[in-house]
Amino acid sequence: MIKQYDIIVVGAGHAGCEAAYATSKLGSKTLLITMDMTKMAHMSCNPAIGGIAKGQIVREIDALGGAMGIVTDKCTIQFRMLNRSKGPAMWSPRAQCDNTLYSAVWRNLLENTPNLHMWQDQVVSLLFNGDGVSGVRTEFGQEFHAKAIILTNGTFLNGKIFIGWNSTPAGRIGESPAIGLSKQLQERGIQVDRMKTGTPPRIDGRSVDFSKFEIQQGDKDPNKFSFLDNPSAIQEKQKQMNCYMVYTNSAVHDKLREGFDDSPLFSGRISGKGPRYCPSIEDKLKTFADKEQHPLFLEPEGWDTNEYYLQGFSSSLPIDIQLQAVRKVKGMENALFYRPGYAIEYDYFLPTQLLHTLEVKNIPNLFFAGQINGTTGYEEAAAQGIMAGINAHRKINRQESVILKRNQAYIGVLIDDLITKGVDEPYRMFTSRAEYRILLRQDNADERLTPLAFSIGMADEDRYKLFIDKIQKRDVLLHWLEDNSLEPDQINQMLERVRSTPISTKKRFADIIVRPQVSWEDIEPFVPRGTLYGKHPLSREIYESVVIAIKYRGYIEREKAFARKILRLDSVPIPGSFDYSKVASLSIESRQKLQKVKPGTIGQASRIPGVSPADISILLLYLGR
């Protein structure tokens, strides 16, 4: 058996799979250790990828050469582009996936990835060589050695499940927790705390009257996540599964309240903080006591199963209370559970202990990624996984780190938020967290990140050529629309149809497209196809990119200028040895927070809560700026 590797990845959730894929792809001999090879990248909560801001992250992972987008496209059973009624900065792709197929496709991909070996076992401790890590020891008594270790243990570190008064150690329902690592790292000076999340019951679809629900269909012309040419599952099958929406009512709420005395949340048996944006149904009743109803979404778990996920009904109440409450919902009077909802509490490591590379500050060559950093969500975990993988590979090969800026990617916002601000509840990405969201759109993730991916070896030459071809076609069309015009008698009939003001003089195509009432579909019949792009119509990605560039040019340029101004502070480094305690003119709060976080740049320092603009001015003076 091979015992020496370049990199060991512990855990095969979404973070671990992306990390192992990245390190192997870059050429590092990698070992991926997981407790169950049948549940790789398992979607233990909602079987969906993407959503508001999360969809942008998945497209960024794809643009960087990761696999989440590719795997999702192969498993999609429904696709929706959310927020189409708003500006393109808010458009967010979301795919409902076949849960079982998703894990199987990930496993198949990793099993056929060169440089990657897998081992089913539990890591019980790390091995050290001085201050740095040198390997791992497993429950089977095996020792594996490596130059770098990436921990992606998810909810498994001292995980504990709660259902009413029942509780049991578990990483997920029916799966053993990981014991030992937290204590070992705590003894090494790592700060450990507890967090909580939860999941709703799964419903047998045969026991539900779907005619009582509001149908939520997928897009009529479904898109996909990956920028590659591969078709998605629904594009091949020409079939999408429906999701459904229904509401709770006063009878549901009354039944749930009967279980409050048995709630582990309200009795204090759970100490970890849960996610604010995705509360349990009992939390909703407490927090929003005036609400007479709450929306629920019944979402399919796959093509070939009757199992449905009841989004909006996460709960840790006793099973009989959960079932009786669900049966008070219209259309679910005879509902049967496949399994109940539950809460899970687990250890996480405070992310302010990490560098921007996701390497632990005081333990060289040890990286953390995913929920152990205090995040929640498959997409946030995968984003950390790919960046930890890239940087672990580059660290052991003495190459420069890859750190994405806040104006470059949502992934950059995510990591900077984690290590600068820390977390006191599970972190989830929202578009509102990004100052430059007009720049960080889902449609231009490849433009922002694929050249970087190509330069570091994450994107091959074929992918890069595909990207260049897209940009060239886009630019040809963009310039043509800016250089060519339409006469009033050519276009006015269309303008009147879309209720836009007719023109009286010749106007450029670009001046017509910039109008909010005019879409590409309205203007396309006037564009001579043969002179621009041959016999075949342009792909949706190209013409959407052109329309966005024209309609939002002013906003985009203004945000670029603002980003350049603000991000100058990120070019001012702060020495790692800088002693803030000696800067008497800083406030006591600032000194304490700066000393704790030890920001690498003035820009990072400015984003630490409690550090004022006056404190930043003082630091600039001290640094001779």
Q: What is the CATH number of the domain that holds 606?
A: 1.10.150.570
Amino acid (1-letter code) at residue 232 = S
Q: Do residue 515 and residue 576 come from a single domain?
A: no
Task: Tell me: pLDDT of 272 over 90.
Answer: no
Residue 466 lies in a domain: yes
C-alpha closest to that of 304 among 244, 214, 245, 237 = 237
The share of the chain scoring above pLDDT 90, in percent, equals 74
Distance (Å, whole) CA 552 – CA 88: 9
Q: Do residue 591 and residue 504 come from a single domain?
A: no
What digits encode the pLDDT tens for the residues 566-612? 778 888 889 888 888 888 888 888 888 898 888 988 888 888 887 88
Residue 545 lies in a domain: yes
Task: Tell me: pLDDT of 536 over 80.
Answer: no
Q: Do residue 580 and residue 552 come from a single domain?
A: no
Q: Do residue 486 and residue 616 come from a single domain?
A: no
Tell me the DSSP string of 481-549. HHH-EE-HHHHHHHHHHTT-PPPSS-EEHHHHHTSTT--HHHHGGGS-HHHHH-SSPPPHHHHHHHHHH
Q: Do residue 554 and residue 616 come from a single domain?
A: no
Joined together, the tokens standing for residue 20 give: 């192992």
Residue 222 lies in a domain: yes
Residue 6 lies in a domain: no
Per-residue pLDDT at 531: 61
Distance (Å, whole) CA 512 – CA 503: 9
Joined together, the tokens standing for residue 82 give: 């959310």
Distance (Å, whole) CA 179 – CA 337: 30
pLDDT-derived band at 118, boundaries 50, 70, 90: very high
Contact of 95 with 50, CB cutoff 8 Å: yes
Q: Do residue 327 and residue 218 come from a single domain?
A: yes
Q: Do residue 333 and residue 242 come from a single domain?
A: yes
C-alpha closest to that of 157 among 14, 21, 344 = 344
Residue 542 lies in a domain: yes
Per-residue pLDDT at 582: 84
Contact of 580 with 573, CB cutoff 8 Å: no
Task: Tell me: pLDDT of 524 over 90.
Answer: no
Task: Tell me: pLDDT of 124 over 90.
Answer: yes
What digits encode the pLDDT tens for the residues 601-610? 888 888 888 7
Distance (Å, whole) CA 451 – CA 492: 42
- Block residue for tokens 């992918």: 463
Task: Tell me: pLDDT of 350 over 90.
Answer: yes
Q: Do residue 308 and residue 225 come from a single domain?
A: yes
User: Domain with 271 in it: what CATH number?
Assistant: 2.40.30.260
Are β-strands 123-129 and 132-138 bridged in parallel, bridged antiparallel, or unpaired?
Answer: antiparallel
Point out the domain boundary residue: 564, 584, 603: 564
Q: Do residue 556 and residue 590 come from a single domain?
A: no
Give the residue-averaged pLDDT of 614-625.
Answer: 83
Average pLDDT, the chain: 93
Distance (Å, whole) CA 402 – CA 357: 7
Which run of H or of E encompasses 284? helix 281-287
Contact of 59 with 40, CB cutoff 8 Å: no
Distance (Å, whole) CA 401 – CA 308: 43
Which run of H or of E encompasses 166? strand 166-169
Residue 295 lies in a domain: yes
Distance (Å, whole) CA 97 – CA 365: 35
Domain range spanning residue 485? 461-564
Joined together, the tokens standing for residue 446 give: 């490849």
- Helix then strand then coil, in percent of the chain rounded to 5, is 40, 20, 40
Which is it for the CA torsion 203, 206, 212, 216, positive or negative?
A: positive
What digits encode the pLDDT tens for the residues 6-59? 999 999 999 999 999 999 999 999 999 999 999 999 999 999 999 999 999 999
Please state whether 139 falls in left (phi above 0), alpha (psi between -120 and 50) or beta. Answer: alpha
Task: Tell me: pLDDT of 625 over 70.
Answer: no
User: Domain with 534 in it: what CATH number?
Assistant: 1.10.10.1800
Grouping H, G, I as helix, E, B as strand and the rest as coil, residue 41 is: coil
Residue 394 lies in a domain: no
What digits encode the pLDDT tens for the residues 352-404? 999 999 999 999 999 999 999 999 999 999 999 999 999 999 999 999 999 99
Total number of domains in the chain: 3
Q: Do residue 331 and residue 211 come from a single domain?
A: yes
Q: Do residue 524 and residue 500 come from a single domain?
A: yes
Tell me the pTM: 0.93
Residue 538 lies in a domain: yes
Joined together, the tokens standing for residue 191 give: 């700060």
Point out the domain boundary residue: 564, 588, 606: 564
Give the residue-averaged pLDDT of 181-198.
Answer: 95
**Between the CA of residue 365 and those of 27, 156, 524, what are the distances in Å?**
17, 22, 54
Give the residue-averaged pLDDT of 520-539.
Answer: 76
Distance (Å, whole) CA 523 – CA 80: 24
Q: Do residue 486 and residue 584 come from a single domain?
A: no
pLDDT-derived band at 329, boundaries 50, 70, 90: very high
Q: Largest Cα–Cα distance in the chain?
A: 82
Find the range with the poorest average confidence among 54-58, 115-119, 289-293, 618-622. 618-622
Per-residue pLDDT at 535: 61
Point out the domain boundary residue: 524, 545, 564: 564
Find the range with the poorest average confidence among 138-152, 307-321, 344-358, 537-551. 537-551
